[in-house]
Amino acid sequence: MHTRHSILLLSLFVNVAATAQPVSEATYAHIVHQRCPGADIVLVQHAAYDLLEVDYFCQGKKVELGIHNGVVVYEEREGTPESEVMDRIRKKLDKQYPGWLLDETSLITAKDSTFIKVEVVMDGVEHNLYYTTDGRKYDPRGLLASEGWRAKDIAATMPLDAPYDLLRPDSAWTLPPLLREISGITMSGPHSVYCVQDELGAVFEYDLKADAITRVLRFTDLGDFEGVAAHGDRITVLRSDGKLFTLERKSGALITERQLSVPSLNYEGLFALADGSLLLASKEAPVVGNPDLRPIHRIQGDGVSYHRELDASAVSALFAKQWPALAKGPVRFSPSAVALHPRTGQLYVLSADERLLAIYGDALERVIPLPAADFYKPEGLAFLPNGDLLISSEGDKKGLVPASISLFRWKGK
């Protein structure tokens, strides 16, 4: 089992409180030993949203627990299904994945649901598949809808003049495992995009027609890379701490590295303007100042200047006004991508938190929720010159939900 890949199950099966309290050592040890007296705890890791991942051996078998606020939200344990069920699964694997090796099987239990995870391997590439306990194919993506906006609820009140039908993509691409943690996109050609992913210092060029990665431009080692922009013969990559890496577009050579002096600690949005300057959007509030504001700065040459501020409380208020049937309380707004519409000049801002798309003119105009079952973690945003919209969504680290890119035709043509 891959313990660092467990945060999805928290997102799937619990509502995450903003004021969650970390689980103490005494608490998690008590929980483990209640479930398995004499258990040997071998690894404890803190993940996002105060999720604690605990690995232990129980009677010689590996078990992984996800604990949030003192409550077990999922359990994954080694296990082999009954022989009859396993025979059904093997027959499906032989047809769908001929030549792949069956590496391991485990049982995942969460929110009163139990399903089988099967890991297959070929040439060092791993792929996870899911089945019900009687051997039928299982799609866990539907579980996302229980903890986010559901498509049918959004459709019931979607305004007719919405610029895009975000419930029905006109085209969609399932991305390979190498791009599972895709965190930013920008157009690189008429039918291709540059992509970055969270953990690797590389720019990937993905051809939408060929449905394949066609170039990999490696520029540094590991990091938290969140945004990418292209202009002229340059590609710029944003690291979350505000460091920019500039590459020569043709060769992929690293030209410059620049650590910006900016007031927030976490940046995810990057967009290149027509003059080659960059917009840099913060995911969080400044270290000092109004906690509701999300600053956007403009990077031009060696200068860094204030561009505009986005008010998270205004987004929450407008969402409650425009979507009263969905608003159960304040919504979080944490910009994960920004882009200017090429035809209207409006600023589009994506928030992976709460899965929202905010649209700004001179002021905030719309807030549109995205269906949870289709957008696990929307973090990338780009426009085609004609106004068509691309949204990329990160997959989960366990492989339950693949990363994707969806295209939506602009209604304003």
Per-residue model confidence (pLDDT) at position 110:
75
Looking at residues 189-206, what average pLDDT do you find?
Answer: 95
Q: Which of 1-5, 263-267, 325-329, 392-396 has the lowest mean pLDDT?
A: 1-5
| Residue 389 CB burial class (10 angstroms; 0-12, 13-18, ≥19) | buried
In three-state form (DSSP H/G/I as H, E/B as E, the rest C), the secondary structure along the chain is: CCHHHCHHHHHHHCCCCCCCCCCCHHHHHHHHHHHCCCCEEEEEEECHHHEEEEEEEECCEEEEEEEECCEEEEEEEECCCCHHHHHHHHHHHHHHCCCCEEEEEEEEEECCEEEEEEEEEECCEEEEEEECCCCCECCHHHHHHHHCCCHHHHHHHCCCCCCCCCCCCCEEEECCHHHCCEEEEEEEECCEEEEEECCEEEEEEEECCCCEEEEEEEEEEECCEEEEEEECCEEEEEECCCEEEEEECCCCCEEEEEECCCCCCCEEEEEECCCCCEEEEECCCCCCCCCCEEEEEEEECCEEEEEEEEEHHHHHHHHHHHCCCCCCCCCCCCEEEEEECCCCCCEEEEECCCCEEEEECCCEEEEEECCCCCCCEEEEEEECCCCCEEEEEECCCCCCCCCEEEEECCCCC
Per-residue model confidence (pLDDT) at position 79:
83
Per-residue model confidence (pLDDT) at position 17:
36
| Residue 384 CB burial class (10 angstroms; 0-12, 13-18, ≥19) | middle
313 confidence band (pLDDT: 50, 70, 90)? very high
Could you tell me the two tokens for 329?
Answer: 């309380």
Per-residue model confidence (pLDDT) at position 128:
79
Per-residue model confidence (pLDDT) at position 143:
54
**Amino acid found at 207:** D
Per-residue model confidence (pLDDT) at position 1:
46
Average pLDDT of every residue of the chain = 88
More reliable by pLDDT, 148 or 15: 148
pTM: 0.73
Whole-number Cα distances in Å, 35 to 30, 31, 38, 144, 285: 9, 6, 10, 27, 41
Looking at residues 393-400, what average pLDDT do you find?
Answer: 75
With a cut of 80, say whether residue 28 has pLDDT above it: yes
Taking the domain 3-145, which CATH number applies?
3.10.450.360
Per-residue model confidence (pLDDT) at position 13:
46
With a cut of 60, say whether residue 25 has pLDDT above it: yes
- Report how far residue 249's alpha carbon sits from residue 374's, in angstroms, rounded to the nearest whole number: 32
Could you tell me the two tokens for 235?
Answer: 């590609």
Portion of the chain with pLDDT greater than 70, in percent: 89
Q: Which of 128-142, 287-301, 320-334, 353-367 has the lowest mean pLDDT?
A: 128-142
Per-residue model confidence (pLDDT) at position 142:
54
- Report how far residue 274's alpha carbon sits from residue 359's, in angstroms, rounded to the nearest whole number: 20
Are 331 and 356 a contacting pair, CB within 8 Å? Answer: yes
Domain ranges of the chain: 3-145, 147-408
Are 179 and 196 a contacting pair, CB within 8 Å? Answer: no
Per-residue model confidence (pLDDT) at position 4:
36
What tens digit of pLDDT does each residue of 209-235 get? 999 999 999 999 888 999 999 999 999
Per-residue model confidence (pLDDT) at position 19:
37
More reliable by pLDDT, 396 or 234: 234
Per-residue model confidence (pLDDT) at position 50:
62
On whether the 147-408 domain is CATH 3.40.630.40, my answer is: no
Looking at residues 345-359, what average pLDDT do you find?
Answer: 96
Per-residue model confidence (pLDDT) at position 172:
95
Q: Which of 123-137, 178-192, 296-310 has the lowest mean pLDDT?
A: 123-137
With a cut of 60, say whether residue 386 has pLDDT above it: yes
More reliable by pLDDT, 48 or 63: 63
Per-residue model confidence (pLDDT) at position 123:
77
Q: Which of 83-87, 108-112, 331-335, 395-399 has the lowest mean pLDDT?
A: 395-399
CA atoms 93, 95, 97, 100: torsion sign: positive
Per-residue model confidence (pLDDT) at position 298:
96
